Amino acid sequence: MHPITTFHYLVLSAALLLIGTVGVLTRRNVVIILMSIELILNAVNINLIAFSHALHNVNGQIFAIFVITDAVAEAAVGLGILIALFRNKETVQADEMDILKW
């Protein structure tokens, strides 16, 4: 049984980041996009915690809590915009929301 090292955390984090990024770029449903953004943020959090543990520095953990708070706020605002948008456009598909072009 191998001990879990910092490298594993980093791999997990990178995987999550990749999954989140691909989700943001490819999925059309805005709710899924917001969930993918949560994945990206959590990838960052894992990164921060891993380094905090490895370096015995508590700053990383504090910063992770900030990020969680931020993600909550962001989710609230994002979902609010989404609901307002849905009322007007009757859709949650991101590719149909293209009126902000030139």
State the residues that interact with another protein by CB under 8 A: 21, 24-25, 33, 94-95, 97-102
What lies within 8 Å, CB to CB, of 75 at 6+ separation is 34, 38
Distance between CA atoms of residues 76 and 17, nearest Å: 21
Q: Which is nearer to another protein, 61 or 75 (CB)?
A: 75
Q: What letter does residue 2 receive in the DSSP assignment?
A: P
Structure-block tokens of residue 54? 């490895």
Q: Which is nearer to another protein, 26 or 59 (CB)?
A: 26
Task: Compute the least distance from the CB of residue 28 to another protein, in Å.
Answer: 8
Task: Compute the least distance from the CB of residue 95 to another protein, in Å.
Answer: 6
Q: Which is nearer to another protein, 40 or 50 (CB)?
A: 40
What lies within 8 Å, CB to CB, of 49 at 6+ separation is 9, 60, 61, 64
Task: Compute the least distance from the CB of residue 96 to another protein, in Å.
Answer: 9
